[in-house]
Chain A
């Protein structure tokens, strides 16, 4: 049960929201989609005396392009998936968001909430990191930008300062010629937490060798990062099945070294090799047809 004297406020002004969230006298939580927060409040695993509904703040609800693409933190996953702009210029993100939850969840849940909640299986983060997104954060100390790869520091932990709020995500549009892939393993075909995922982006040079490659696994490591070791081993190479297989094995070794004694490690070690290969195959296979 949620505490009885919970108070609710719904500012339409961003600065007002920040002031409410940073008010030291009242323990406040930002309420975006609520699909994580409500559950945690019910369970008592998050304590708050006040929720600040941030779904009516214009800066948090916009999707626009101005050189870079800006996606407000309170934009829902349905809005992301249905945005022609994002389908066109940030397809990787759209692919990742399509797999989240259910229509009901996607109509409420937001990318800002997904990132701030920082679950190890957060679905939007691998794609955001792969797209080299920057997270714009507002707090009483002003505005800061944190790269998506750095924002999550551990399970449930972020660099968002106390009383701060994610305002938006800034993404550079994908240059032409770049291909994307998103692999995700869930225990069923809808409403399933990602057991493992992989966001991938790549391009070939004029000689058919790998010019760009970005690989970001999800639900695997403590943080969401590009796997530079594997990427370096792929750069400049001609894509072949054997290359994909080696990359997969390399990824598995990295996972094994980092995973410690997690209960699911024995399965994930093997599975991560498979989805690495498949993501690469999706990006580089049939490339010439592009």
Chain B
């Protein structure tokens, strides 16, 4: 059946069967392999994507469910020049990327949190990534990277607001 949706900022249309998950659709039909398969029962978060800005496990959605929705995958997270964005840089510089398999999911969960708040407490950060398993890092450096990014974005925003004031 035909599925029309917005994928990483661009409208797309594709013919796909109803019996495949969104995870499968993204990886096999769109070749977007950044979203990972980890368990297929919604327990590991490696397949996390954003649907209308909310973080969900793409293995828990059937492909047709994205009709008319807006989907963001890891391939849609980068800076304007196509390089890593501040959260991705933060993760790397903080040593939070080891095997890297959970990392795309962590980025999605992190971005979802930061779209809600730029002053998250440590508890809020841990809660935000509580649906993303990591077997390598023990989470600490990931939490710190998200915290650093929140700080960065908050200051940037404050800087922009200040500039606006000055102009006015």
Contacts and interface: CB of A to CB of B under 8 A. Distances in A.
Touching in the complex, A and B, CB below 8 A? yes
Interface residues of A, number: 30
Contacts of B40: 39, 42
B127 A2 contact: no
B109 interface: yes
Contacts of A38: 21, 59-62
Given A38-B59, A104-B57, A8 B64 contact: yes
Nearest to A53: B65
A6 B19 contact: yes
Contacts of B62: 8, 31, 34, 38, 51
Interface stretch (B5-13, B41-49, B75-83): B41-49
A10 interface: yes
A104 B57 CA distance: 6
Interface string B94-122: 00000000000000010010000000000
A2 B19 contact: yes
A53 B56 contact: no
A51 B57 CA distance: 19
A237 interface: no
Interface in A71-105: 78, 101-105
B121 to A, nearest CB: 15
Contact of B19 (A4, A104, A105): A4
A51 B60 CA distance: 14
Contact of A51 (B18, B45, B128, B132): B18
Contact of A8 (B18, B42, B45): B18
Contacts of B154: none
Interface string B1-45: 100000000000000011111000000000000000000111101
B153 interface: no
Contacts of B1: 8
A190 B134 CA distance: 13
Given A10-B64, A78-B54, A4 B21 contact: no
Interface of A: 1-8, 10, 31, 33-35, 38-39, 42, 51, 53, 55, 78, 101-105, 107-108, 189-191
